[in-house]
A and B are shown apart, each in its own frame.
Chain A
Amino acid sequence: MSAPAIPAPAPAAPAPPPVETLTVKVNGKTLQVPKTHPDWQGRPQPTTMLQAARCGGVDIPHYCYHDKLPIAGNCRMCLVEFGTPMMDPATRKPILNEDGTPKIAKSVLPYEPGTPRGAISCATPISPGMEIYADSPATKQMRESVLESLLINHPLDCTICDQAGECKLQEYSVDHGQAGSHFVEAKVHKPKAVDLGPRIVLDDERCILCTRCIRFTKDIAGDDALGIVNRGSYNTISAFQTGKFDNNYTLNTVDLCPVGALTSKDFRFKMRVWFLKETKSLCTGCGTGCNITIGSREGTIHRFEPRDNDAVNGPWMCDTGRLNYKWIGRPDRLTEVRVNGQKVTWATAIKDIGSRLTRASSGSVALIASARQTTEELFLLKSLATRLGAVTDSVPREGEADHLLVNADRNPNTNGTRLTGIAFTEAGMQLPLIAAGIEAGTIRTLIVFGEDVTKHGIAPELLAKLEMLVVSDILPNATTALATHLLPGASHAEKRGTFISVKGRLQKLTKAIESPGDARAEWEFLHELVHDVTGRNGFTSIEGLFNLMARETPAFAGLEWANIGDKGVDVKI
């Protein structure tokens, strides 16, 4: 391990105000729980019984409740038996047992005092001294009855259902369900395989009407498109016109759906979820840097799902980002190392590039890197450029921002290019100068990583004038076609590294699958090239490389790979 720079001790932050707490009992255990919890919009609201139980490590089963959605309280699954301290109506003093503990009045039906009266824990605030019986026989009975009722009209088609394996109905049935059914009447039949929108299919028979999808679509996505139509047993989720449920966040309803009612057209019938390997990664569609989980099996990516990170994307991601994985498995991926059109080994190519670059006169080399490269790769490219006295830049990529997650900067690592010194405040400023330098013959070598420069002001005719054109990319394009040295790179799902979001969140990528053919992660071959050209070493692992970069880059002072964590850290941008 390389010796890490000792981080300066953080200045002592002013002590936060003490959290006001209440004392409650959960399953007999006395707990101090905060008086308030953030609601779906982050505003403090009185702590509910469900949240209090969570503080004590007790998870109360629920369907309709979701931390990031308004509370509906309609599924009834979170019903619990509870009690409150008895109060003497005259003195307003608690009534005590003989041993001095407060006497608890269990909540019962007013007209039937022998029957416990449960409360939905998701929407009932706690009060001082309250006792929550999350595992009592009465609670269990309520849960079983609710579950039985939810399953009455359910088709029980788990064997052909895409949700199987990640279905709350299945999970709770194992915990609280019954093997047999009491139900002898005919089930209500509802619409099947409803084409709700271009990316969503709805099976109304599987739906338990929790309205998570309605609430998300209305309150988070801001598109009041879904509702419940008909009534009684015939209630169904519906859009005004089938097929028209089409905003950029529709696929989040599939994640939210606790059962198999809403399924993704892209993913359904493709892979059983328990076969998927889950890898923590990032979306590279824009500068927001949404955290994702890559679901892959045997080297093939089957889906992206958002991964919870309140500092970045919460539990959501946009449909565009979620479906942006198919190019990774394209059959025309670059898989061969080529020098002047001949297939060669990595060793030959890197040695050849290294010796040519060493001989190049200062100022005769230019380097264009992509803001889709990882920060480590950009750092290595910058070390190379510094040694060669090369002018560097990256390519800006602008789009339209939306109200929720999509950022106008479509590059995932613009801040990486800036902090490593590849680009300046305005990315793309140097591109015309590089073009002019090639035209004038002062720039005779161009190194391009991950961009088709012919689309960004450097015409193929100019590229043809170069003595050496080193290109690394993932998919073929007009620039790779003209490369004298072609180095096949890895997609973000095939390597480790970091990206820095537009807001300065530095986050890690993890490798989900292997690169095809000879394609390699760029930092792996770049460290060899940097060694050959500059004589520096010590980049052989991504951890070591990151730590070295952190020591040499002021913005990353004090950071270490091991301390970044799954949810990233904020850096000064």
Chain B
Amino acid sequence: MSFSVPSSLEAELDELTTHYPVKRSASLMFLHALQEHFGYISKEAMEWTASKLELQPINVFELVTFYPMFRQEPLGKTHIKVCRTLSCALQGSAELREQFCKRLGLDSQAHTAQTTPDGKFTVEFVECLASCGTAPVVLVNESLYQMVSPAAADEILRKGNLK
């Protein structure tokens, strides 16, 4: 699969680079834009960014792995973010995530986001979703599910399977 950035996006990024005193400072904006466009940041995208900003690929790779919001793999169609911050943790978010993982055949010990082989689901822990009063909460794509019971979790998976 050959990697190519549309010329309009490239022009936009080139213009953006001029806003910074050093090119390297534009790294994060590049990565956000590339993830927005491609859905994830491939090794080719990192190499492209490095060559545009006169860096070595390892410099970009370090950045991509540092921030959990940057994805190196395409996401599943249903993206399940389970909150693990205090109230949710107290209300059983660990068990909730384990239930998701178990049902989907994912490793509940893994500490990073996991996607099912069929590309339907991605499950991961995230930090506070700002709904502590209704813990545990789960963000599925753009919609917030509150006080999620085991039955409600299964319902989320059922809906996801229909997509």
Task: Tell me the A residues contacting B by CB distance below 8 Å.
Answer: 224-231, 234, 238-241
B65 touches A240 (CB 8 A): no
Query: Is B141 interfacial (CB-CB < 8 Å)?
Result: no
Q: Are B56 and A225 in contact (CB under 8 A)?
A: yes
User: Nearest A residue to B111 by beta-carbon distance?
Assistant: A234
> Given the complex of chains A and B, what is the CA–CA distance between A388 and B61 in angstroms?
68
Known: A240-B46, A241-B43. A230 touches B59 (CB 8 A): no
Q: For A223, give the chain B residue with the smallest CB separation.
A: B56
| A75 vs chain B, min Cβ distance (A) | 19
* CB-contacts of B45-65 with A (<8 A): 46-47, 56-59, 61-62, 65
Cβ-defined contact, A227 with B43, below 8 A:
no
Contact with A along B79-119 (1 / 0, CB 8 A): 00000000000000000000000000000000100000000
* B20: A residues at CB distance < 8 A: none
CA distance A228 to B66 in the complex (A): 9
Instruction: Give the complex CA separation of A226 and B61 in angstroms.
Output: 10
Instruction: Name which of B46, B47, B65, B66 has the most chain A CB atoms within 10 A of its CB.
Output: B65
Main SS of chain B's interface residues?
Answer: helix
Q: What is the bound-complex CA distance between A239 and B65, given in angstroms?
A: 12
Chain B: CB-nearest residue to A233: B111
Query: How far apart are the CA atoms of A224 and B54 in the complex, in Å?
Result: 12
A225 to B62, CA, bound (A): 11
Q: Which residue, A225, A226, A229, A238, has most C-beta atoms of chain B within 10 A?
A: A229
| CB proximity to A under 8 Å, residues B95-154 | 111
Distance between B100 CB and nearest chain A CB, rounded to angstroms: 21
Interface of B with A (CB < 8 Å)?
A: 43, 46-47, 56-59, 61-62, 65-66, 111
CA distance A228 to B59 in the complex (A): 9
Contact across chains for A238 and B56 when beta carbons are under 8 A apart: no
Partner of B59, one of A227, A234, A239, A241: A227
Min Cβ gap A65→B in Å is 22
A239-B58 contact in complex given A230-B65, A231-B65, C-beta closer than 8 Å: yes
- Asked whether B111 lies within 8 Å of A227 as measured between CB atoms, the reply is no
Q: Which residue on chain B has the smallest CB distance to residue A218?
A: B56
Residues of B within 8 A of A230 (CB): 65-66
Cβ–Cβ contact B57 & A229, under 8 A: no
B66 x A231 contact (CB < 8 A):
yes
CB-CB under 8 A for A227 and B61, given A240-B46, A241-B43: yes
Q: A170 to B66, alpha carbons, bound, how many Å?
A: 31
Instruction: Assess the B56–A228 pair: CB atoms within 8 A.
Output: no
18 further contact pairs, Cβ within 8 A, besides A224-B56, A225-B58, A230-B66:
A225-B56, A227-B58, A227-B61, A227-B62, A228-B62, A229-B61, A229-B62, A229-B65, A229-B66, A230-B65, A231-B65, A240-B43, A240-B46, A240-B56, A240-B58, A240-B61, A241-B43, A241-B57
In the complex, chain A residues whose CB is within 8 Å of the CB of B61:
227, 229, 238, 240
Which residues from B are CB-within-8-Å of A229? 61-62, 65-66
Chain B residue nearest in CB terms to A226? B58
Nearest A residue (CB) for B55: A224
List the A side residues contacting B47 at CB < 8 Å: 240
